[in-house]
């Protein structure tokens, strides 16, 4: 992507890499699609629920990568949008709105609005100050959700219903929800990559490298970043909708800063700004945590050093590892 002088060879290499990453992404999604059949033989509902959880987190992680990987905007409050989405869903259900369309419309508009307001303030800052101000808004939302005494306060709230689409319970925990989440994940994955390849994505990436120069070229980088922030926020809100449907329970803990940190970990571990990085990162973290915890209760003694080793020896995260091993072949 760097050398313009070797455009031909470079373009060819890039094309091949693009094809490979598209192929890998489709394989991963296809594997996810057949998971319920495999778990029918081994693993059962427990593994299926685990993979579903991983897919929902992957939606949030892929949306976060639009900010981190493309825009260089490290948001440390992304879980707030997931929490907000789950609360809007939970409150709507509790108040008797069970049709998924208005619920989703509410989720999208409220998390989008929250992103618009907090983004407009946060994007005045940059670098680590941006990290911290997004954390601040995340914490404000977290404590606000904890104070909603009508809807469970600190303890959260159990949901007795799930949203329906034209009378069908496709968001009820089980295989209906599994495939709904898979479809939303695939669409998010496609949308974020299409955005990244578009002019919009190019302006974002240029702003990541040198915001002043982009401004001099006549682009209002603030507007581009704000739009990206709103898109990422409402996608994470949809992940929150799915979280509420899966858990049949809403809790302020969803919006805790630890979860925002986890999302960043997933994106960085997978490989920032790549087509499959955030997707693979989310699946890897959830599944490796679970498998290690089957081996030993003190699985963090293994997972911690594993993270350090990945950083030290695998530049570019998991995707970097994969593409390097591909080159060697």
Position 127 contacts other proteins (CB under 8 A):
yes
**Which residue number, 34 or 308, has a Cβ lying nearer to other proteins?**
308
CB of 234 to other proteins, least distance (A): 22
Which residue stretches of the chain are H helix? 7-41, 44-65, 78-94, 100-122, 127-146, 175-197, 199-209, 211-216, 221-247, 257-270, 277-295, 300-313, 317-328
Position 153 contacts other proteins (CB under 8 A):
yes
What whole-number distance in Å separates Cα of residue 274 and Cα of residue 280? 10
Of 81-89, 186-194, 220-228, 268-276, the segment contacting other proteins by CB under 8 A is: 268-276
Position 147 contacts other proteins (CB under 8 A):
yes
Of these, 298, 324, 326, 327, which contacts other proteins (CB under 8 A)? 298
DSSP letter for each residue of 151-198? GTGGG-EE-S---BBTTB-TTSTTHHHHHHHHHHHHHHHHHHHHHHHS
Of these, 52, 54, 58, 68, which contacts other proteins (CB under 8 A)? 68
**Which residue number, 27 or 117, has a Cβ lying nearer to other proteins?**
117
CB 170 within 8 A of CB 177: yes
Of 13-21, 184-192, 227-235, 305-313, the segment contacting other proteins by CB under 8 A is: 305-313
Position 125 contacts other proteins (CB under 8 A):
yes
Contacts of 121 (CB under 8 A, 6+ apart): 133, 137
CB 207 within 8 A of CB 71: yes
Of these, 113, 140, 165, 226, which contacts other proteins (CB under 8 A)? 140
Position 241 contacts other proteins (CB under 8 A):
no
Position 198 contacts other proteins (CB under 8 A):
no
Of 1-9, 47-55, 124-132, 181-189, the segment contacting other proteins by CB under 8 A is: 124-132
CB of 63 to other proteins, least distance (A): 17
Position 143 contacts other proteins (CB under 8 A):
yes
**Which residue number, 237 or 277, has a Cβ lying nearer to other proteins?**
277
Contacts of 38 (CB under 8 A, 6+ apart): none
Position 288 contacts other proteins (CB under 8 A):
no
What whole-number distance in Å separates Cα of residue 271 and Cα of residue 323? 11
Q: How many CB atoms lie within 10 A of CB 329?
A: 4
Of 26-34, 218-226, 257-265, 321-329, the segment contacting other proteins by CB under 8 A is: 257-265
Block residue for tokens 């508009």: 109
**Which residue number, 137 or 241, has a Cβ lying nearer to other proteins?**
137
Q: How many CB atoms lie within 10 A of CB 183?
A: 13
Contacts of 292 (CB under 8 A, 6+ apart): 299, 302, 303
- Start-to-end CA distance of the chain, whole Å, equals 21
**Which residue number, 102 or 127, has a Cβ lying nearer to other proteins?**
127
Of 35-43, 57-65, 137-145, 321-329, the segment contacting other proteins by CB under 8 A is: 137-145
Of 50-58, 100-108, 233-241, 258-266, the segment contacting other proteins by CB under 8 A is: 258-266
CB 84 within 8 A of CB 255: yes
Token representation of residue 144: 């606000």
Question: What residue ranges bind other proteins (CB under 8 A)?
Answer: 68, 74, 121, 124-129, 132-133, 135-137, 139-140, 143-144, 146-149, 153, 257, 261, 264-265, 268-269, 272, 298, 300-301, 303-308, 310-312
């Amino acid at each position: 992507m760097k050398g313009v002088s070797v455009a031909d060879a470079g373009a060819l290499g890039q094309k091949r890499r693009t094809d490979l990453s598209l192929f890998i992404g489709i394989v991963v999604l296809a594997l996810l699609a057949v998971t319920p059949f495999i778990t029918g033989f081994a693993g059962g509902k427990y593994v299926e629920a685990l993979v579903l959880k991983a897919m929902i987190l992957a939606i949030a992680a892929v949306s976060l990568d639009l900010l981190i990987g493309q825009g260089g905007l490290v948001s440390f409050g992304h879980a707030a949008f997931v929490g907000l989405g789950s609360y809007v869903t939970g409150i709507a259900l509790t108040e008797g709105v069970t049709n998924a369309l208005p619920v989703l419309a509410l989720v999208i508009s409220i998390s989008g609005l929250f992103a618009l307001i907090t983004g407009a303030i946060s994007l005045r800052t940059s670098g680590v100050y941006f990290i911290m101000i997004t954390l601040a808004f995340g914490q404000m939302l977290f404590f606000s959700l904890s104070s909603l005494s009508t809807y469970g306060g600190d303890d959260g709230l159990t949901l007795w219903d799930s949203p329906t689409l034209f009378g069908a319970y496709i968001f009820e925990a089980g295989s209906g929800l599994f495939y709904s989440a898979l479809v939303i994940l695939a669409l998010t994955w496609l949308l974020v990559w299409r955005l990244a390849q578009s002019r919009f994505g190019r302006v974002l990436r240029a702003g990541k490298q040198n915001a002043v120069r982009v401004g001099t070229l006549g682009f209002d980088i603030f507007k581009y970043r704000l739009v990206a922030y709103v898109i990422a926020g409402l996608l994470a809100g949809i992940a929150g909708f799915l979280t509420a449907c899966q858990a049949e329970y809403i809790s302020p803990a969803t919006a805790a800063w630890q979860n925002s940190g986890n999302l960043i970990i997933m994106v960085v571990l997978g490989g920032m700004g790549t087509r499959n990085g955030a997707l693979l990162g989310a699946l890897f973290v959830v599944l490796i945590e679970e498998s290690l915890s089957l081996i030993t209760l003190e699985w963090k003694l293994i997972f911690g050093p594993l993270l350090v080793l990945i950083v030290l020896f695998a530049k570019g995260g998991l995707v970097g590892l994969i593409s390097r091993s591909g080159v060697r072949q």
